[in-house]
């Protein structure tokens, strides 16, 4: 009876990686990026059947706070390789005044703004940098509009790695400055995130940099998925009716769905009911919304994307098929909101309940208001919004001219 | 045997308030501010003898994360009055590269930057606003250079209170803008925090606003002290050799010392050894440093104070006697650092270990370097620094001209 001790013996129970498209297996103890045959993301698999026997939620609850208390379900073999700044265990907050105003009493907001470097990106980057360190990577590169680059810069500094960021010129100034302070090399690109990605990819191949673009390596998703574990734990191993998530690269939504799959396999959920997922995009760059309207299985490239919410300015996610698959499977939907609505709800939430969300986080509130008006969300449903970052980061954008748009 | 259940029955075990100078008693279930006879702060007292019997650290560890898991030692009677944004349980981080560079292996940093609104102020304001709500307060006022005002603005919004902030014109712009977004009224003052305090006090008396200035009400200190509880818990109920804290109003240092007193009375500490406290100030505004040099029991008012670290620009704390008493009792010291050293260590920590501290937080690193050089700190000692806020808040200041100063 190897399991009779009811204790885990390995730091991780990762088994391998598989292509999200063709299912081909890849090793998790060597550097792998994405499936070259399918040009599709790799997904990490764990020995969930064994963990179901030997790991209990109470053990995880008793550990010191933070994302790494879920280490059996994260990809790192040795604890000494964990590069951490205290990410995870973000607050799940009620929005009493906002709830009352829009008649939705069971409303919660998972506030990711208090992660290191002020955004949810810390989770994925912590996992990916830790695994990269374990596999011997010494220089990392990323195309980024702001948050992700800044976060990579600080984690790379902490890991003692070189860091290079390809950023659109329109990226928020504070994020670029914080990246420079952490010693990263910044290359400003006259174009969108997609152009930055192309140039970063070229440099990576030419000079041997490891590319941490969303879904172009398998482990940022693993850090991100822990949001789903924390949510289920906070809701006493139930899940809400609806989850509204701002969607650029899509790791948040895909990570949540992966967490729910894993939680089901672990036998930890008290319910088989899954939430309906809502992907929120900006009207000026809404490839997922367009694809979902046609029930397409992938996105067209969105040309000339434009929105003040830089995290939403992603013309085509590398994981578009995964995002759309999870949306459809959840009976969810995708919603585009205007920049005016984003700015207006940012201010509204700040005044109402004292949370100053990122523009991307504010977009989830704007989408909520729309979906209530469309009766897609019923007043009694439990809805969870995600504020992905601190509004402070875009303070300049928050004061951009805003036509008199009033929500509700 | 009323204690046989080993469970607390009240949400708080506060008993009363006493003047820190004359010892006169005040009620904790009525609005009280400071001792009018002595013009001195009031301190909250708890029934620690009873708590020693019925409350164990393991109970607190098992509760959901955040400051309010220590509610028996906080002043609020009813849980429904707690105004929370998820403050507390900040990370205690190693600084591997910085430690190595300066030869101080047992170095830790308590990173308060991931509190709501990006600073440690969230703790004190959460406690004070919650108690104010319980006592029926509906409008709050504060003189503030940045962080405290911004934090009060968001907590007041959440509590549904009116908020007015008197801020020196030189306050960081982002803090003021975030306060405005949360619906606060901002009055810009052509002067220092001391002038702002005078004007805010006048308005408070004339119009019945409740003044939340540091130490002019008893409960911000109570929220702040929880940092000391968390630190002791993280160090397995021991205390470090040295604590270095940036000191403006002084609630951090006084709160830590109060926590250690209470922990001793609760019988939770494994050691009777207390840390030596270090108060860090800026050379341009160093009233505590000057007083400590003369072993004075109070400060002179520091005229024409000037530093880029706005949180350190406090010409005379209302609790100067308490700060100095605790410093002396701890065998501690007070250190003044230059603005150049602050900027330089801010950048250094960011590059070395991926933490971009506030200017006030960076000041503790500059002080550490000085104290190592002076051999006041020995290489084997365990030292805890406090980063009180996110550097992002002062990003403009961080890029101010900085003469080529190199630490170490």
pLDDT in tens, B296-308: 999 999 999 899 8
Cβ B321 vs Cβ B40: under 8 Å:
yes
> For chains A and B, what is the number of CB pairs under 8 angstroms?
143
Does the pLDDT value for residue A82 go beyond 60?
Answer: yes
pLDDT tens sequence across A240-269: 999 999 999 999 999 999 999 999 999 999
| Beta-carbon separation of B118 and A392 below 8 A | yes
Closest to B15 in 3D by CA, of B56, B50, B67? B50
Give the largest CA-CA distance in chain B. 68
Averaged pLDDT score across all residues of chain A: 92
b/e B149-184 (16+ beta carbons within 10 angstroms → b): bbbbbbbbbbbebebbbbbbebbbebbbbbbbbbbb
Within 8 A of A125 by CB-CB distance, chain B residues are none
Q: Return the DSSP state at B389.
A: B
Rounded Cα gap, residues A184 and B114, in angstroms: 22
b/e B195-216 (16+ beta carbons within 10 angstroms → b): ebbeebbeebeeeebbbbbbbb
pLDDT band at residue A192 using 50, 70 and 90 as cut-offs:
confident
Does the pLDDT value for residue A404 go beyond 70?
Answer: no
| Beta-carbon separation of A392 and B62 below 8 A | no
What number of H helices and E strands is found in chain A? 14, 14
Rounded Cα gap, residues A9 and A11, in angstroms: 7
A131 sits in which H/E element: helix A121-134
Nearest CA-CA distance, residue A361 and chain B, Å: 15
Find which of A11-20, A56-65, B57-66 is predicted with most confidence, using mean pLDDT: A11-20
Within 8 A of A174 by CB-CB distance, chain B residues are 392, 395
- Show me where the domains of chain B are located: 14-81, 91-119+219-401, 121-211
The answer to whether domain A91-119+219-401 and domain A121-211 are alike in fold is yes
The CATH code of domain A121-211 reads 3.40.50.1100
Disruptive mutation site among B156, B163, B392, B402 for chain A (greatest number of A CBs within 10 Å): B392
Kindly give the pairing relationship between strand A139-143 and strand A210-211: parallel
> What topology does CATH give the domain B91-119+219-401?
Rossmann fold (3.40.50)
| Beta-carbon separation of B392 and A391 below 8 A | no
Which residue on chain A is closest to B351 by alpha carbon? A182
Helix spans in B162-302 (H): 173-181, 193-207, 220-234, 251-266, 287-293
Q: What is the pLDDT of residue A171?
A: 80
pLDDT tens sequence across A209-237: 999 999 999 999 999 999 999 999 999 99
Rounded Cα gap, residues B149 and B30, in angstroms: 24
């Amino acid at each position: 009876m190897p399991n009779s001790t009811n204790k885990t013996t390995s730091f991780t129970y990762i088994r391998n990686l598989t292509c999200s498209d063709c299912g081909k297996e890849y090793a998790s103890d060597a550097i792998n990026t994405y499936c070259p045959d399918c040009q599709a993301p790799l997904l990490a698999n764990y020995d969930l059947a064994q963990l179901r026997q030997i790991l209990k939620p109470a053990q995880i609850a008793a550990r010191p706070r933070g994302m790494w208390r879920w280490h059996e379900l994260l990809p790192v073999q040795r604890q000494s390789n964990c590069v951490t700044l205290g990410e995870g265990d973000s607050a799940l907050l009620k929005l009493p005044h906002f709830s009352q105003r829009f008649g939705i009493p069971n409303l919660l907001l998972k506030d990711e703004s208090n992660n290191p470097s002020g955004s949810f990106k810390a989770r994925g980057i912590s996992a990916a940098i830790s695994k990269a360190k374990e596999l011997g990577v010494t220089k990392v590169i990323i195309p980024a509009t702001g948050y992700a680059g800044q976060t990579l810069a600080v984690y790379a500094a902490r890991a003692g790695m070189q860091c290079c960021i390809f950023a659109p010129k329109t990226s928020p100034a504070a994020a670029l400055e914080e990246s420079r302070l952490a010693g990263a090399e910044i290359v400003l690109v006259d174009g969108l995130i997609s152009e930055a990605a192309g140039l970063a990819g070229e440099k990576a191949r030419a000079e041997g940099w490891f590319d941490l673009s969303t879904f172009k390596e398998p482990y940022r998703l693993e850090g991100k998925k822990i949001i789903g574990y924390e949510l289920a734990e906070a809701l006493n191993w139930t899940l809400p009716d609806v989850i509204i998530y701002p969607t650029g690269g899509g790791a948040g939504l895909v990570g949540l769905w992966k967490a729910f799959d894993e939680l089901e396999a672990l036998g930890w959920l008290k319910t088989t009911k899954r939430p309906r997922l809502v992907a929120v995009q900006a009207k000026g760059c809404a490839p997922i919304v367009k694809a979902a309207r046609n029930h397409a299985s992938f996105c067209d490239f969105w040309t000339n994307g434009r929105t003040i919410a830089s995290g939403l300015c992603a013309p085509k996610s590398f994981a578009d098929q995964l995002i759309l698959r999870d949306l459809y499977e959840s009976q969810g939907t995708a919603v585009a909101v205007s920049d005016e609505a984003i700015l207006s709800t940012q201010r509204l939430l700040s005044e109402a309940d004292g949370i100053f969300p990122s523009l991307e986080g504010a977009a989830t509130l704007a989408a909520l208001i729309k979906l209530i008006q469309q009766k897609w969300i019923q007043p009694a449903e439990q809805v969870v919004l995600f504020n992905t970052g601190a509004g402070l980061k875009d303070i300049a954008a928050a004061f951009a001219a805003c036509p008199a748009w009033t929500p509700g």
